[in-house]
Structure 1
Amino acid sequence: MIRNAARWFKMLGCLQETKQPISFEEYLNQYISYMRQEQGLSECTILSRFYQLRIFLTSIEQKQQEFTKLTPLIVDEIIIGKHDIDHHSRRTVQLYASILRSFLRYAEDQGWCPKHLASTIKAPRVYRDESLPSAPYWSDVKRLLANSVSDSLVDIRDYAILMLLSVYGMRCSEVTHLRLEDIDWENELIHLQRAKRCKPQTFPLSKTVGEAILRYLTLVRPKLRTSREIFLSMYVPYKLLSSAAVYQIVSKRLKKLNITIKHYGPHALRHACATHLINEGISLKEISDHLGHRTLDTTRIYAKVDLTTLRKVAEFDMGGLL
């Protein structure tokens, strides 16, 4: 109730919010402008780096007051804490170290910190394809979808989202940015602007997915002319559904299945889609195109979880060959 009331008062301009100070905010704002104007990074990438760097700068302020006296030892402590305290994977820590290295190179050029600090950052070694994608079984995905079918307005919206994530293996951002004009009802096509590809892709619109989206548009979605995105929040002020909201939708419903997987977010359904396709005998090239991968190398890791084929190999009678 408090959250919804706050949104309402904020929309009316009656709520005065106290902005929380950000450590070394002037440095962060200048670097954001550099990423946007000089590097040409997407807003999604900039936002992700903003959150990471905000935490990093807060940690620095807690350890010392002056950015100019930053040392490799302090940076190492923060990076190691990502793994030992926050329990992030080595791949996540490696990405975090890369973000810090880029920021500190810029900071060195601006004279904010000592020279050659960025070059001292050491990231953990990550071996190619060292881990398997974490995904629920396809039977669990079917249970997830079945449990989401009801006449509840929230369930109608969430079911359409879950269908897109499961059937098309869409990324979270691809779902949230899907627009009304991306659905060609007359020709039964869906046009996707993939998050990591420059050109859009067109797929046949599955009948069940189309029916789920149409039911949401007819019964649930607010009739707003100003918003072209398909999925909006349920309460006023109506706005684009955030990636965090989609994560909560999937996570909450996956956890209700009482299954054990590494991650309970939307990407787990993308992994489940890929694993299901490869177990059905679909080629890696076709799966790569379906998921919007830029190279086959990204898709090839799913060959490691082709459980159906692995079971056939295990059951093969080797007696005549020995």
Structure 2
Amino acid sequence: MFTKAHLADLTHLDSLVDNPLGSIAIPYVEALNAQHYARYTIERYVNCVIHFGCWLNAEDVGLQSINQAVIHRYLHDLLLVTSASAISSDSIKMDRAALKHLLTFLPQQYSVITKSPIEAELERFTDYLLNICGMSPQTCVNRCQHVGAFLRHRFCSEAPVIAQITGADIDAFFQHMALRWRPASLEVVGASLRSYLRFCALQGEPTTVLSAFIPRIASWSPATLPKVLSDTQVDAFLKAFDCTYGVGMRDYAIARCLLDIGLRGHEVTYLKLDSVDWRNATLTISSNKSKRVQQLPLPVSTGQAIAQYLFKGRPLTSSRILFVRHRAPFDQPLFVPAIRNAMNRAFTRCGLRNQFCNTHVLRSTTATRLQKAGASIKEIADLLRHQSLDTAKTYARVDLERLRAVALPWPGSSNF
């Protein structure tokens, strides 16, 4: 257990005397040490927390008032200082990470008070999505991110009042988002806001007019073929993983799950050791969008990659999660951003980063390869776990040879 003597090796104890966060410094360091953070990282995190405590004193903010809004305000003030000094952006990232951990270690009696009005509203919205709409946790996270961005854009840190929202507010938000979001993504944001307004309507709020202001984003995606990797590109992509060390083995096994079985990123995240049935060569998926437990065939190449990682690359851990972190915090699963970044680094190494990114292109490649191998649309939909055949019909457009066989001759052509 850490003591003040240990803490003195990390920082100056006199800086904790009148610091409102001094009382939680030792449990904070103990928790970071238990997750195997490096000594240098712990030292920097503690210094970040001390500076934050000094800012709390200067702003006359008590422990009871610490929440995401207060941390956001502190980071904003820090950014203003950064722009006028030599403080690097890495320092800001370090402060953000340190304060994210800090929220976990605040006294339990402050847990209710620390929620901002917008966070409390998003918590109620999440409960509605999970228990009333029956949506998957990942879908709830995505929708709350979109709704939270809108509420913060309109109300900043104040309590959201639906009656104060106007059509002009919705237009301004979408104009702001359109500067950096693609049309398909904006359509998803619109769906999230419609869902939120339906939730508000259940609370007795008049939202019919506001729903009409949410734009229908024009999208002509069916006019283009799905973006997929060719066989040559698939080979180059798979060779981009260095399987001589643990992280490379893990990322290669993840890539095989995405490419051979067409798993989604969040489905890979929650795979467990018990998910693999080696005797029957099956993989059980339980954390999917439909919330149904499903069994998929385990290809030989995928099983070999997973087995190599388990025997040679996976670190010693008590976690039952299949793919775990290889750096602090340990004993935790890889989340979707980490999986996405691992695949993007592989695209960069094989020279395809300017053409492909993220993980969904691997899922589309799986469907296209199945279709070219003669699989039916129903078989593709079953493997990808689509609830509607219409979702999988898009892959019928990539079979150009069969499409030419059923195409009618163009009027005026030599074959007419």
2:165 matches 1:141:
no
Q: TM-score, normalised by structure 1?
A: 0.82
Read off the aligned partner of 2:366 and give its amino acid letter.
C
Q: Match for residue 119 of structure 2?
A: 25
Read off the aligned partner of 1:186 and give its amino acid letter.
R
Residues 9-158 of structure 1: matches in 2 within 5 Å? 9=33, 11=35, 19-21=67-69, 24-61=118-155, 67=161, 68-83=163-178, 85-89=179-183, 91-107=184-200, 110=203, 116-126=209-219, 129-158=222-251
User: How much does 1:313 deviate?
Assistant: 9.1
Check the 8 A contact 2:136/2:291 in 1, yes or no.
no
Deviation track 1:275-322 (CA, whole Å, cap 9, x = no partner) reads 1222222222222222222232211111212256568899xxxx9956
| C-alpha distance 186-263 of structure 1, shift in aligned 2 (>3 A) | same
Q: Match for residue 62 of structure 2?
A: none
Where in structure 1 are there 5+ consecutive unaligned residues?
A: none
User: How much does 1:40 deviate?
Assistant: 3.5
Partner Cα distance (1:240, 1:66) in 2: 34
Alignment match of 2:320 (pick from 197, 206, 228): 228
Deviation track 1:75-133 (CA, whole Å, cap 9, x = no partner) reads 112123323x11322x3222211211222343355477877423432322446734432
Q: TM-score, normalised by structure 2?
A: 0.65
2:303 matches 1:210:
yes
Deviation track 1:46-88 (CA, whole Å, cap 9, x = no partner) reads 21112112211121135999744221111112123323x1132
Q: Match for residue 275 of structure 2?
A: 182
Read off the aligned partner of 2:358 and give its amino acid letter.
G
| C-alpha distance 64-26 of structure 1, shift in aligned 2 (>3 A) | closer
Deviation track 1:237-278 (CA, whole Å, cap 9, x = no partner) reads 220110111111111211333337665111110111111222
Read off the aligned partner of 1:232 and give its amino acid letter.
V
Check the 8 A contact 1:284/1:300 in 2, yes or no.
yes
2:253 matches 1:160:
yes
Partner Cα distance (2:396, 2:231) in 1: 16
Q: Aligned pair count?
A: 312
Where in structure 2 are there 5+ consecutive unaligned residues?
A: 1-28, 37-41, 53-65, 70-115, 408-412
Q: Match for residue 22 of structure 2?
A: none
Residues 148-297 of structure 1: matches in 2 within 5 Å? 148-193=241-286, 195-225=288-318, 227-236=319-328, 237-259=330-352, 263-297=356-390
| C-alpha distance 283-66 of structure 1, shift in aligned 2 (>3 A) | closer
Check the 8 A contact 1:177/1:229 in 2, yes or no.
yes
Check the 8 A contact 2:325/2:334 in 1, yes or no.
yes
Check the 8 A contact 1:196/1:293 in 2, yes or no.
no
| C-alpha distance 313-60 of structure 1, shift in aligned 2 (>3 A) | same
Deviation track 1:15-55 (CA, whole Å, cap 9, x = no partner) reads 65874316733332332333334333332222111211221
Q: Match for residue 85 of structure 2?
A: none
Partner Cα distance (1:195, 1:143) in 2: 29
Check the 8 A contact 2:229/2:362 in 1, yes or no.
yes
Identical residues among aligned pairs (%):
27
Q: Based on CA coordinates, which of the two structures has the bigger radius of gyration?
A: 2
